[in-house]
Structure 1
């Protein structure tokens, strides 16, 4: 099956390439025409380094009629590439956030529905077996009603690797845009897609400078509180708070309080500890579960069989609406209301 990866802008692009390039059932082609000329971390230079066939632009890659397309561009370019890929008849896996505006997200969903192709949002943590166990334990009734959820998704600033993350014209925002969605998606799963009624956000911009040429700095630390119709309250810490010298790039945890128990989930527990003599820092080896590989396997199976991919574009839209409400709350200093879709 032919698969095309469009753009190397996102930090996950190289990971996806490495997971797919040696599979006997996949013919992988890639393109990154928006890279700055001479950038050694992108474009044909990176494709040659990773040993994958490179195409000059998106049109050339899509002209080969790939069965599946993976979009790892800057956030504000997702809509254009999804619409192009859908028009070419490809099933699509799009990096998160699905889009930066509700209008774009709905247009992407509509384009894929009209073309008869799947649109999947890249939420790999859904595929963690420990999260599956947590979901079962909190929804089977044995622990009583779910009372609150606290999620944390922290990392080093992604602009250390890709400067566009702090350019609102390309990213759509900072830490809230980048990190709210993973936790919001897990909560979405636990609540079967129920939307909050109110969103309150607090944020600051202290942890990294503004992108060169950007009109203003993006937020680098945030805390979001969500209130649901049944009275459930959840919080999301979405900060870029890890220093560059931290032994791990980031982490994601979820704490669920029920009537009878407290249930915790750690997506990336540091199971093994050691010391990196080359960097003179502690070293943590992550757990064996490869969430990106699990997500890609699910996407490729859906593309190959024509089944609907999950999490789909509607899941991406629901989490985006929470992000947009958080920005509205930041603008007003008051809780923002989410109306029924």
Structure 2
């Protein structure tokens, strides 16, 4: 395998076009084929984004000799099938979140990649953000002492081009499987612990009342006695996102931080005195993810978010959905090691 990867894109998606394909090219990798179940869509997508070949057969994409890695951004319900095909072909795989719609499917994806001896990563972008990496370092370095609480404001305005399944799919859509799942991955990366139980309330404030919720708030208990609160929605065009960490020795405030762009600030507060932290290079989140993935494939490092991490973020999201369904506190199913 060369130092630069040649990718098969399974899913002719918006995220592939706007974020992952540009990152693949920015780090020196190439995309050689895109696969979609719709031949016309595959061909149009390939033509619009200068990908040499478009196919509809899954094996025709993942089993090619000139493919080193597979990126899966197909519909959520098909992720397991597509990841298993990549693993069977001996190809490392970067899979979109949520990994699946059930823990059984998500864990099966991790297990099959492990059995095949191939790298698997989950495309949660926030842990690759300069703001989130600064938060993680500050917490691990003890700048706020013992963490007591985390508050995540991740209410955004959903662009019209991204509505689709997020609004219309009653099983795989909604803000929980789209955004809350990112919050769970972000909190896990910063804290290094797991969620235990969660309570949620939600509404459909702007879309079909019978559809998946577009606005949800949660309160969760994590290991080490940490409370984590989230607000996720599709109807906020006004206020930037933020993340607050409250500790025994200080607090951290990250503004404009829950986004796919390398923007935002992180401020350390102690005794009502503020100190802005240096975030280092403002690298593209998806380039960081793809570059780390390539290093892991070469045996030179770790992915940003691995498969097990993706299973755990899904477990939190499914517990949120259970709480919304029952109106009660839901236990987060333990996963992995």
TM-score bracket relative to the smaller structure: 0.7 to 0.9
Q: Secondary structure at the match of 2:249?
A: coil
Deviation (angstroms), 1:29: 1.8
Q: Kindly report structure 1 stretches of 4+ aligned residues shifted beyond 6 Å.
A: none
Change (3 A) 1:143 1:340: same
Residue in 2 that maps onto 1:56: 55
Contact preservation (8 Å) 1:159, 1:166: no
Q: Secondary structure at the match of 1:80?
A: helix
Q: Secondary structure at the match of 1:181?
A: helix
Deviation (angstroms), 1:30: 2.8
Range with greater deviation from structure 2 (317-326 or 261-270) = 261-270
Question: Please, which of 7, 21, 26 is the counterpart of residue 3 of structure 1?
Answer: 7
Residue in 2 that maps onto 1:177: 177
Deviation (angstroms), 1:225: 0.9
Unaligned runs of 5+ in 1: 211-215, 272-286
Residue in 2 that maps onto 1:166: 167
Change (3 A) 1:336 1:29: same
Deviation (angstroms), 1:156: 2.6
Residue in 2 that maps onto 1:26: 29
Deviation digits for residues 63-83 of structure 1, max 9, x if unmatched? 214211111111111111000
Contact preservation (8 Å) 1:202, 1:224: yes
Range with greater deviation from structure 2 (141-150 or 109-118) = 141-150
Answer yes or no: is 1:335 the counterpart of 2:336: no
Residue in 2 that maps onto 1:297: 291
Q: So what's the TM-score if we normalise by structure 2?
A: 0.83
Contact preservation (8 Å) 1:152, 1:183: no
Contact preservation (8 Å) 1:149, 1:257: yes
Deviation (angstroms), 1:252: 4.1
Residue in 2 that maps onto 1:124: 125
Deviation (angstroms), 1:52: 1.5
Contact preservation (8 Å) 1:166, 1:218: yes
Question: Please, which of 260, 263, 279 is the counterpart of residue 249 of structure 2?
Answer: 260
RMSD: 2.5
Unaligned runs of 5+ in 2: 266-280
Deviation (angstroms), 1:202: 0.7
Contact preservation (8 Å) 1:102, 1:317: yes
Contact preservation (8 Å) 2:167, 2:212: yes
Contact preservation (8 Å) 1:221, 1:239: yes
Q: So what's the TM-score if we normalise by structure 1?
A: 0.82
For 1:252 and 1:160, how far apart are their aligned partners in 2?
Answer: 20
Change (3 A) 1:291 1:251: farther
Change (3 A) 1:143 1:16: closer
1:80-159 aligned within 5 A: 80-157=81-158
Change (3 A) 1:131 1:262: same
Count of aligned pairs: 309
For 1:101 and 1:180, how far apart are their aligned partners in 2?
Answer: 16
Q: Secondary structure at the match of 2:224?
A: coil
Residue in 2 that maps onto 1:284: none
Q: Secondary structure at the match of 1:316?
A: helix
Q: Secondary structure at the match of 1:131?
A: helix
Residue in 1 that maps onto 2:274: none
